[in-house]
Amino acid sequence: MVSGKWKVSSLQETHTSTADTVSYPYTGQSGDYMDFRSDGKMYSFYDNYADTTDYKVLSDKYLLLGGDSMQIKTLSDASLTLYLKYTDAYYSPVRTVEVTYNLAK
């Protein structure tokens, strides 16, 4: 079950284009969390930034998080991995963006 408070183990964001690949890794710090509450809100704090966004479990494989359909790669009592891949046409050349959240209880 996705609901509950999870510690942020790590985050990885990678931008790939025909010109280059740039990675933005983040290792979770003490106090970093993502809290999926029963009211459909996800409260988070990591990288010195607090946020609240809507979420909805779509299936055992997908979660809608703030409008993004994230794949549930792993889910157990101890770990949750969420993955998102999309094309960002804002950049030139166009970039593919991949985001991975690794969470732990």
Query: In sequence order, what E strands does the chain have?
Result: 4-16, 21-27, 33-36, 41-46, 49-57, 62-65, 68-75, 79-88, 95-104
pLDDT of res. 89? 83
Spatial distance between the Cα atoms of 86 and 47, rounded to a whole number of angstroms: 23
pLDDT of res. 77? 95
The tens-digit pLDDT sequence of the chain (105 residues) is 899 999 999 999 999 998 899 999 999 999 999 999 999 999 999 999 999 999 999 999 999 999 999 999 999 999 999 999 999 888 778 899 999 999 999
Q: Contact, 77 vs 59, CB < 8 A? A: no
Q: What are phi and psi of 87, to 5 degrees?
A: -100, 130
pLDDT tens digit sequence for 31-42: 999 999 999 999
Q: Name the residue range of residue 42's domain.
A: 4-104
Spatial distance between the Cα atoms of 51 and 44, rounded to a whole number of angstroms: 5
pLDDT of res. 90? 82
**How many domains in the chain?**
1
pLDDT of res. 18? 87
pLDDT of res. 92? 78
